[in-house]
Amino acid sequence: MITRPVHDQGLRLAARTASSASLDWDALSGAQLVEALSRHLGEPSHRLSYLLLSVLERRVPLASSVVEFTRQWRIDGLVTPLTAEYARLARSLPRRARPLAIVGGVVVDVTDTSRSRFTTGIQRVARETVTRWTRDAEVTLAAWDPSGRTLHGLTDDETGRVLLADAGAVAPVPPGAVLIPFDATFVLPEITVAAARTASLRSVVRFGTRRSAAIGFDCIPVTTSETSGPGMPGAFSEYLAMLSLTDVVAPISSAAFTEYSGWAAMLPGAGLTPPRIETVGLPSQVGSVDDATVARVRAQLGLADTPVVLSVGSHEPRKNHLNLLVAAELNWRRGHEFSLVLVGGNAWGDGEFQAMVATLRRKGRAVTMLSGVDDDVVWSLYRSARCTVFCSVNEGFGLPVVESLVSSVPVITSDFGSMRELGEGHGALVVDPHDPTAMSDALERLLTDDELHAELVALSDSLPRPSWDDYAAQLWQLVVGPDTGTSEAAATGSATAETS
Amino acid sequence: MTTVVPIDPEVVGGEVDDLRRALAARLAVVADALGVEVDGLSPSRTLDALARVARASSDDRSRWLLYVGLTGTFPSVAEMGKLTRALLLSTPATALIGVLQTTLDVQSRTHSGLRTIELVRDTVLVDVDFCAKYEHNTGIQRVVRHTVPEWQDDPERAHRLVAWNQDSTGYRELTELQRDRVLHWSDRRLPKADDPVLTDAQLAVEHVLVPWDSVLLVAEVPAFHVCDTLTSIARFSGNRVDVIGYDAIPLVMADTLPNAESERFAHYLTLVKHSRRVHGISESAANEFRGFVSALPSQGLTGPEVVTTSLATEVSAVARAAAGRVVRDRSADPVVLCVGSHEPRKNQDAVLFAAELLHREGHRFRIVFVGGGSRTATMHFDKRVAALSKQGMHVESHRRLGDDDLWGLFGRARFSVFVSLHEGFGLPVAESLALGAPVVTSDFGSLDEIARVGGCLQVDPRDDTAIVDAMRRLLTDDALHDSLVADIARQRPKTWRAYADEIWQGVAA
């Protein structure tokens, strides 16, 4: 057997991590090392197969390889398959292998957040939450490389994109190191619809963790596939199949809870124990802007004199903008004067929407479309609006409902799910979004009935406003589990790296 | 008065007259169904009258039917939305223009203008599209081909078998050949042949069957490209749509299937959302659909009622005869049989592992794998089988085995192994039991439902060593084997007749 120093280093790391035998592992190499492992590592298990393959492949192995390796271990003992993998993998390794670190403790997968500068949606949740966690606990931040197969520590730049001001320190990992979560507490505060990353996560969650948790944003791509772009329902199904192996999923609203609970109820037929589903509701997010800015934005957009009806959301079919345009047109025809302002990017399947906007504009209707605008502009528009409309067909949360109400502006929203839950009784008028006539009637009432309008504005004060601190603390309790305090999981957080 | 610009017959020949006559005939059907008096009116005036009615109507079905009559095709959900919005924004006088505007694309197709339509009213339509068109017979097709024939020639169970037309825009009657494929699978009356591919000219004169005030039973999992049109029927046409719920494997076990399968299934779920009733093929399958339905209030829907109608467990007389003809050679190694299409979910790798381990332990047996699969799914496995065979293990893998040979193997088997990770029903377990062979199978879901009756050893299929132990016991413990065989002998399999009765009652209710 030809010895490979890089494999020997990896196997010694595995040995020190998983074996309690008091051997001088550094004195062993090649066949002797393999032999010693077969005597001192323990009984065949997927957990140990995962560890051994990880240090030889120098990345998280696929679940199918782990299962296959354990089978061979059971049939032939450890020496034969381990020697075979030792030799086989030596051929595919680069000349200079990246350092390897085995990480326990809390490992947070912030792949997308570490690469993007988006300030809304999922990334926002990840940033606000992880930032707060780093203040009291030691967490390791990790991201998958673009191939989705190798997990690595974050560069300073990447860390900077994840953590907001006032963050604490994160667990140090060797620069450029490949990370192997082992007996870890793994957290996914994002979603993944990249096939290779999803497959790698399956393996981590199944073999490399003691506990795993994820935030559940919604199940829309499979419960409302008719509003999802091509490829999304399939990729999302794989993401859910991976989530089925986790211990806890924390939906962001009780509407998302309903969806995840329904999905979880489908799992026992496949012999799977569903994860615990426990809601941690997102906080209300308040943006503020001064009066001068509001006035400037109004003037710039030529909205100084007319009431503004605002709708914030991308132009994808799920947001139901076609029915909004019908409702607006019916009101214009009845002689009501207002400007319709639509804030949101172009999206999959918006052809008919674009055509209808063009038709309305040709008739002289005041339709303003904005995309990619600053937060200041958005908050100024909220502050300027007579009312907003957010009648989506399905939402995990429905941020625009909250944004409108924290701006003390009544919102017309859908009469179900998260939108109803957030808005009803707090300044929203709820309607059936599939019924443009109902939407039109609600809009007419808000444009013409000052008493109703004032009533709804007053109600918006009653909107519950939990903070990000509350959210992060509740989620942390779910991550570390009912049996552990806040510190135990974090105490073992440091990485074990190779010694050469 | 409007003036009509004379048509130049040199340019259009007789086609315009034909189109006009076809349109008039279709609109007459629509007018009759909607109770609109159009006697003596020209097609354009008929359409005007119908457009006004569709505009004023508060229910969607008049608009759905008008669309069908005008175009000779079923509308998609988006097309219905477009039509509805156009009518909302029109006046009575401009309703006609709104209707024409939103159907223009479809009406300008050259292959549908001459179609005739027929309302199929107050009855049950059974969508058997795939079974009608393809010579393929696994899982779902076997259910349909066992069930539908039980309803033939029963005046109490009047129904109409339908398939999608070639451009998937509407239903058509089955051809004689297609009926033969559905109704006489094991007893064919006609020589096997491919369906002819229709020309545009033939497509243009299709006779479209339009469900109206009826129940539509979607007996298969429909093709991706008709899910949306079916959803439109379920949402807007006023017909009640029932589906047979086979399983939710593409969602729950998405990691074991090609992505496209999960994608298609998610679109099928959109139809399920708007259907009236799901007939789950097992308690486990029904529970999966119940789980999905319980997620729907988040989007303001209640979803379908879900009932359990468990499939039959009997096998055909032909199969029993073939299995019974086997002469057992007591001196030969016992046969262990593992049947099922070859894919990760069926867990054949674990069975092969268990067999190898038992072989190493010195147990003598012959293990036979039967089931087709894609090359990517089978390549590694077949190599391993070849290697083990070379080392003297008695193992074989058959990718294409005739039915008779398969029944014979069941007759010869000491036991079979079916440790799938997930099934809607698990026909191989039912078949094995019906043919007298005990089964090692999984301890949850639909397989547990079948196994609970007796004759099986149940294991956690994700626990390799549990599979080894169960197989070892059945190889070595004759008393256990005898008791399982005795359990099986007491079983009375559920017949397809009984299943067909139950489904009919559920659909007709």
- Read off the pLDDT of residues A294-346 as tens digits, 9 standing for 90 and up: 999 999 988 878 999 999 988 888 999 999 999 999 999 999 999 999 998 87
**The pLDDT of residue A118:** 66
Per-residue pLDDT of chain A (500 residues; tens, 9 = 90+): 788 889 999 999 999 999 988 899 999 999 999 999 999 999 999 999 999 999 999 999 999 999 999 999 999 999 999 999 999 887 777 767 889 999 999 999 999 999 987 666 788 899 999 999 999 999 999 999 999 999 999 999 999 999 998 889 998 888 889 999 999 999 999 999 999 999 999 999 999 999 999 999 999 999 999 988 899 999 999 999 999 999 999 999 999 999 999 999 999 999 999 999 999 999 876 777 899 999 999 999 888 789 999 999 888 889 999 999 999 999 999 999 999 999 988 788 888 999 999 999 999 999 999 988 888 899 999 999 999 999 999 999 988 999 999 999 999 999 999 999 999 999 999 999 999 999 999 999 999 999 999 999 999 999 988 899 999 999 999 999 876 544 444 445 567 877 65
Please state, in angstroms and rounded to a whole number, the distance separating the CA atoms of residues A138 and A169.
Answer: 7
Considering the domain architecture, whether residues B194 and B166 belong to the same structural domain is answered as: yes
Which residue among A47, A63, A97 closes a domain?
Answer: A97
CA distance A231 to chain B (A): 7
- What is the C-alpha end-to-end distance of chain A, expressed in Å? 20
**The pLDDT of residue B8:** 67
Which residue among B98, B114, B130 closes a domain?
Answer: B114
**The pLDDT of residue B2:** 57
DSSP label at residue B454: S
Please state, in angstroms and rounded to a whole number, the distance separating the CA atoms of residues B241 and B247.
Answer: 18
Considering the domain architecture, whether residues B60 and B147 belong to the same structural domain is answered as: no
Q: Is B441 at the interface with chain A, CB within 8 A?
A: no
From B429, B473, B418, B476, select the one nearest B455 (Cα to Cα). B429
Considering the domain architecture, whether residues A134 and A250 belong to the same structural domain is answered as: yes
Considering the domain architecture, whether residues B306 and B333 belong to the same structural domain is answered as: no
CATH number at residue A117: 3.40.50
CATH number at residue B418: 3.40.50.2000
Inside any domain, residue A158: yes
Give mean pLDDT, residues B191-195.
92
**Using CB atoms and an 8 Å cut-off, which of residues 82-101 of chain B contact chain A?**
82, 85, 88-89
Domain count, chain A: 3
Considering the domain architecture, whether residues A245 and A349 belong to the same structural domain is answered as: no
Considering the domain architecture, whether residues A50 and A142 belong to the same structural domain is answered as: no
| Other beta carbons within 10 Å of A8 | 22
Alpha carbons within 13 angstroms on the beta-carbon side of residue A239 total 25
Dihedral sign for Cα A190, A194, A200, A206, please: positive
Considering the domain architecture, whether residues A195 and A335 belong to the same structural domain is answered as: no
Considering the domain architecture, whether residues A139 and A250 belong to the same structural domain is answered as: yes
Full strand arrangement of the beta sheet holding A385-390: A367-370, A339-343, A308-312, A385-390, A411-414, A428-431
Q: Is B308 at the interface with chain A, CB within 8 A?
A: no
B/e letters for A64-99, b = 16+ CB within 10 Å, e = fewer, are eebbbbbbbbbeeebeebbbebbeebeeeeeeebeb
Structure tokens at A135: 């203040």
CATH number at residue A345: 3.40.50.2000
Contacts of B284 in chain A (CB under 8 A): 269
Considering the domain architecture, whether residues B256 and B341 belong to the same structural domain is answered as: no
- E strands, B251-293, are 277-280
Considering the domain architecture, whether residues B280 and B198 belong to the same structural domain is answered as: yes
Give mean pLDDT, residues B426-442.
94
Considering the domain architecture, whether residues B146 and B109 belong to the same structural domain is answered as: no
Considering the domain architecture, whether residues B188 and B238 belong to the same structural domain is answered as: yes
Q: Are strands A495-497 and A100-103 parallel, antiparallel or unpaired?
A: antiparallel
Considering the domain architecture, whether residues A276 and A424 belong to the same structural domain is answered as: no
Whether residues B299 and A437 touch (CB distance < 8 A) is answered with: no
Inside any domain, residue A263: yes
Length of chain B: 509
Provide the whole-model pTM: 0.94
Please state, in angstroms and rounded to a whole number, the distance separating the CA atoms of residues B412 and B396.
Answer: 15
Alpha carbons within 13 angstroms on the beta-carbon side of residue B491 total 29
| pLDDT tens readout for residues B49-108 | 999 999 999 889 999 999 999 999 999 999 999 999 999 999 999 999 999 999 999 988
**The pLDDT of residue A490:** 44
Q: Is B498 at the interface with chain A, CB within 8 A?
A: no
**The pLDDT of residue A491:** 44
**Using CB atoms and an 8 Å cut-off, which of residues 446-475 of chain B contact chain A?**
446, 460-462, 464-465
| B460 Cβ contact partners less than 8 Å away, ≥ 6 residues apart | A271, B442, B443, B466
Inside any domain, residue A467: no
Inside any domain, residue A370: yes
| B116 Cβ contact partners less than 8 Å away, ≥ 6 residues apart | B22, B25, B26, B72, B205, B206, B207, B208
Inside any domain, residue A434: yes
Please state, in angstroms and rounded to a whole number, the distance separating the CA atoms of residues B461 and B429.
Answer: 14
Considering the domain architecture, whether residues A148 and A267 belong to the same structural domain is answered as: yes
Inside any domain, residue B436: yes
The 3-class secondary structure across chain A, one letter per residue, is CCCCHHHHHHHHHHHHHHCCCCCCHHHCCHHHHHHHHHHHCCCCCHHHHHHHHHHHHCCCCCHHHHHHHHHHHHHHCCHHHHHHHHHHHHCCCCCCCCCEEEECCEEEECHHHHHCCCCCHHHHHHHHHHHHHHHHCCEEEEEECCCCCCEEECCHHHHHHHCCCCCCCCCCCCCCCEEEECCEEEEECCCCCCHHHHHHHHHHHHHCEEEEEEEECCCHHHHCHHHCCCCHHHHHHHHHHHHCCCCEEEECCHHHHHHHHHHHCCCHHHCCCCCEECCCCCCCCCCCCCHHHHHHHHHHCCCCCCCEEEEECCCCHHHCHHHHHHHHHHHHHCCCCCEEEEECCCCCCCHHHHHHHHHHHHCCCCEEEECCCCHHHHHHHHHHEEEEEECCCCCCCCHHHHHHHHCCCCEEEECCHHHHHHHCCCCEEEECCCCHHHHHHHHHHHHHCHHHHHHHHHHHHHCCCCCHHHHHHHHHHHHHCCCCCCCHHHHCCCEEECCC
- Compare CB distances from A417 to B259, B290, B300 and report the shortest one's residue: B300
Distance of CA A131 to the CA centre of its chain: 15
Amino acid (one-letter) located at B341: S
Is the complex ipTM higher than 0.85? Answer: yes
| Other beta carbons within 10 Å of B105 | 10
Considering the domain architecture, whether residues A91 and A106 belong to the same structural domain is answered as: no
Which residue among B64, B85, B114 closes a domain?
Answer: B114
Considering the domain architecture, whether residues B334 and B298 belong to the same structural domain is answered as: no
CATH number at residue B261: 3.40.50
Considering the domain architecture, whether residues A211 and A165 belong to the same structural domain is answered as: yes
| pLDDT tens readout for residues B406-416 | 999 999 999 99
Please state, in angstroms and rounded to a whole number, the distance separating the CA atoms of residues B477 and B483.
Answer: 10
Task: Using DSSP, state whether B225 is helix, strand or coil.
Answer: helix
Whether residues B298 and A64 touch (CB distance < 8 A) is answered with: no
Q: Residue A158: which domain range?
A: 101-283+472-497
Domain count, chain B: 3
Alpha carbons within 13 angstroms on the beta-carbon side of residue A324 total 31
Please state, in angstroms and rounded to a whole number, the distance separating the CA atoms of residues B286 and B293.
Answer: 10
Q: Residue B154: which domain range?
A: 119-312+500-508
Give mean pLDDT, residues B360-381.
93
From B342, B364, B472, select the one nearest B420 (Cα to Cα). B342
Q: Is B263 at the interface with chain A, CB within 8 A?
A: yes
From A409, A383, A405, select the one nearest A294 (Cα to Cα). A383
Whether residues A222 and B251 touch (CB distance < 8 A) is answered with: yes
Considering the domain architecture, whether residues B69 and B130 belong to the same structural domain is answered as: no
Considering the domain architecture, whether residues A380 and A345 belong to the same structural domain is answered as: yes
Dihedral sign for Cα B87, B89, B93, B99, please: negative
Contacts of B344 in chain A (CB under 8 A): 64
Distances (CA, A) of A153 to A50, A163, B86, B291: 20, 14, 55, 38
**The pLDDT of residue A288:** 79
Considering the domain architecture, whether residues B241 and B337 belong to the same structural domain is answered as: no
Identify any residues that bridge with B456 across adjacent strands, giving them in sequence order: B439
Considering the domain architecture, whether residues B163 and B97 belong to the same structural domain is answered as: no
| Other beta carbons within 10 Å of B481 | 18
User: What percent of chain B has a predicted confidence (pLDDT) above 70?
Assistant: 97
Give mean pLDDT, residues B274-302.
97
Inside any domain, residue A446: yes
Considering the domain architecture, whether residues A267 and A384 belong to the same structural domain is answered as: no
Inside any domain, residue B4: no
Inside any domain, residue B2: no
Inside any domain, residue B495: no
Considering the domain architecture, whether residues A269 and A176 belong to the same structural domain is answered as: yes
DSSP label at residue B498: H
Contacts of B249 in chain A (CB under 8 A): 270
| pLDDT tens readout for residues B351-370 | 999 999 999 999 999 999 99
**The pLDDT of residue B139:** 86
